[in-house]
Structure formats: C-alpha cells, structure tokens
A and B are shown apart, each in its own frame.
Chain A
C-alpha cells in the first residue's frame, strides 16, 4: 500500500512536536495534525519544564527559546488557619538549575515551528476523529476536514490528557474520576520590577511555590504559584474524585486561595490576563494506559506520563522525551518495514532505558500515598500549630520542638493513624 506520509502525529503539544521534529530531522515524511487554531491554543502549562526542551539545542539557541524564567527558588508550603509553614530551597550559585516556567501558547508554537523547520508538515485547525485501521493495523487517520482521510503506516497519538483517540484505539478504557486531577489557573500580569522585588529575584530568576493544606479545604491536591517574566501563574489542582465527593467547585477554592493574606500580598495590583482549566492524568504506574498497539504509539499526557513526587510535578519533560522515543521507534519500524505491535513494543524498551519509566517506577507508590487525606487535612495543621506554640507565648515555660510536634500530632491522630502515616512517610522519602 502506498502511504501519503511515513508517519502521522496527532497533536502539536510537546510530545507531538518532539516526535515530529525527530522524525523530520531523520528524513521521514511526517504530518503533524493540531486541532487548535495554533499549536498551544488548547494547552495549559502546569508549571515547570525540567531541562532544556531538546538535547541537541546549540549553545546559542539555549537562551533563546520562549521560556519565562529560570526557576532558582522552590517554596514547599503548608497552610492551615493562621499558620503558614514553608521550606525554601534556593540555588545561589554554582551549576545553574535547569528548570523553567513556560507559557504554552508561545512555547508550543516555538516547538512546532522547530519541527516545521526540520521538514515536518504541520496542519492546524485539524481535529482527528479516529485512527483508520485495516486488519487491526493503523493505516491512517480521519481528519475532520473535507477529503480528510490521510494515510501512513503508523500514527503517534499525542492527543493529550483526554486522549479520545487512545480510547478508540483500545489503549485505555474510559478514565475515571479517581484517575484524573482538575487544574485551574490564572495568569496575572505584574511588571518585572515588582515580581523581582516581591519574590527576591533578579535577571531571569524565577520562583515556584507549591502549597498544600487549607488551600484546597484539605482535599487531595494543592495550590501553585510561579513567576513568569511579567506575570504570575497561580492556580489549584485537585483530584477529581475529591471535588465530586465534597461537592466543591474548584473555582471557589481558587477565590479563597487568592484571599489568603500572604497570597493577596503577592498578587496585589496585578491584572487578570487569562483563566484556564485542564486535566492532569494522575493514573500511577500500574493504571497507566497501554502505550502501543499495531501501528500506534502514545506519548505525553495521552500515555499518562505525569508524575507528582510531592516535591516536583512533572509532565512536559516526559512529553518531550516520550515523543522523541516514539519517533525513534517509528524510524526503526521503517527500517524493518514492520509496524506490528511486536516492533512497536520496542517503544517500551526505549522508555525503560530512559528516565521516564525509571522515574515512574521509583515513585510508583506515590499515587497511593498522595491519596492519604491526612497529608492535606491534618499535617499542615499539626506542623503549623507546633510552630505557633514555639513562637507564641513569650514569658511562659517552653517545650522542646519534638515535644510540641508530638503533642499536636497526638491531638489529631490516633495510634492506628500514626502507623499508617509512618508508612506514608516512608513512601515519600
């Protein structure tokens, strides 16, 4: 069968564009289809991109891609009532941290342009309705455009968190509320000078806050706040099943988060530029979708490649790396002239050799640990109260910190709970 393209990539986010770029660079005739008006039109950055977007960026390209700030300061915080407890890590010299805040409308457009420069064909405003299969094997896609069927011997699905195509291709069943988190975000405009002064930053330095506790009413999830060049990105992420269980609107939680005095001080005078919402797969290692079948590979969010370690929330770096690995698998398949699932299975091997599978496996118990509600509802209180006792009540006899923590812990947690929590702590560390 004569195919019009060597490969079709669905979606021009980081996974899709990384795949299209790699395929084109190696001389493959690749088509990348994007349903939005432009790459990034439907996408929302959940935070930080860890690492440079491409391994082969020339030195003079390294500072030039559309990133917002280099994150040098991380604040992990717990909010409970009048108590706000935080831990800050700041890199003050030496080897620079390779972590960047990005805004996706600009970032995804740049990635896609790079794939186009390498020779990939990019088509926007082109939703894909299905993968066309013959004898159980992918032979093209159905594009929702006049005369819209396009043929290729393999298809890379980089169609995002909902991955409707992945479901149609049998890579996963319908996702359940327990497997997804809902995120909302506001981009708030502030001048560079104000951001630098408020967050103690200079030049292109940036800061990232993750906060758990009362910011989500103790629900599973958390708030984030990070600096862009001339704006702040602020938002909330909650497990969907928690929002459904408690009948809470995430928008209401966001309003309340912004009213916390230390938050409102940071965003004061800022102008809202955009409100957005997106799903984040929180499937865990065991429940993640299949990543391949005959002539089909899935990458990025579509493959469930996201990870929350409690200290870092990752997705964009996994998307770029898995898109590249998918492209390499397709290139090998072309060489062999075999697109069966047996050849596609080499994708999993590539992922195993890379860091994605290793990291997902290392942190495989995290999804379960993150579902322990005490982490959000109890511990921020315990720690906040212990510190409050430490610093309040001048002129009275003091207890040692260990004793304070223990007393507050015992007032909130029974012996059985504590045993459970120790297991939780082990998973974290």
Chain B
C-alpha cells in the first residue's frame, strides 16, 4: 500500500510555519549512516540530490528519528497544543 493512502487516513492539524523538528545541516551533510531515511514510519526524511530533506508536516510524533540519529542532529519537540497528529482510533 502506498504511503499517501496511509497518510490520507491520519487526522492532522498542521501548524504552518512552525516546524517541531529541525535538522542541523552541518551535521547532516557529514552523516554517513542517514538512519532517519529508513526509520521514519511516514518517510518524513527524503534524500534529494544527496541532501537529507525534512517534511515535518506528516510527522506522527513517534520520536524514532530523534533516537535513531547517531549524531544528535535532530532537534525534536512536541508540536504546540492541539497541533500535529490526532488519532481517531489509536
């Protein structure tokens, strides 16, 4: 099943312009492992022309990237109240 179909069924309230995740570019450029690319269950991290690009809007706030990143490049915080994912079933 493609990811978009999965994302379509998740309820989000996106806080435009207020990313709750930020990358440290300098660290990411030197990173060899790039564990974030595979660990994120909603593919928030993609590789574009050799650079890691973050699409935080689809984040389900599991926190896996934060733990997977071996270099501490990911500044990760919870979104502001009521923003982000709101599971209807859970």
Which residues of A does B touch, CB under 8 Å?
A: 35-38, 40-45, 103-108, 124-127, 144-145, 161-162, 164, 174-177, 180, 182, 184, 186-187, 231, 240, 243-244, 247-251, 255, 258, 272-279
Contact = CB atoms under 8 A, between A and B. Distances in A.
A112 to B, nearest CB: 13
Given A145-B81, A248-B38, 8 more contacts: A38-B86, A43-B90, A44-B90, A105-B90, A127-B79, A161-B63, A273-B88, A277-B41
Contacts of A124: 81-82
B23 interface: no
A127 B80 contact: yes
11 contacts: A37-B82, A105-B90, A162-B63, A182-B39, A244-B68, A247-B38, A250-B39, A255-B1, A273-B88, A276-B89, A277-B41
4 closest A-B pairs by beta carbon, nearest first, are A125-B81, A104-B90, A275-B6, A277-B41
B80 A45 contact: no
Given A145-B81, A276-B87, A279-B62, A243 B10 contact: no
B68 A44 contact: no
Contacts of B90: 40-41, 43-45, 103-108, 274, 276
A273 B41 CA distance: 17
Contacts of A176: 67
A38 B86 CA distance: 8
Given A243-B39, A251-B3, A278-B62, A273 B68 contact: no
A51 to B, nearest CB: 20
Nearest to A126: B81
A38 B74 CA distance: 27
A186 B5 CA distance: 12
A22 B87 CA distance: 26
B15 to A, nearest CB: 12
Contacts of A182: 39, 41, 62, 64
B24 interface: no
Contact of A40 (B79, B80, B87): B87
B63 A37 contact: no
Contact of B63 (A106, A145, A255, A279): A279
B41 A250 contact: yes
Contact of A144 (B13, B67, B80): B80
B9 interface: yes
Given A36-B86, A124-B82, A177 B67 contact: yes
A279 B89 contact: no
Contacts of B1: 255, 258, 272
B21 interface: no
B35 A44 contact: no
Contacts of B27: none
A14 to B, nearest CB: 12
A244 B35 CA distance: 6
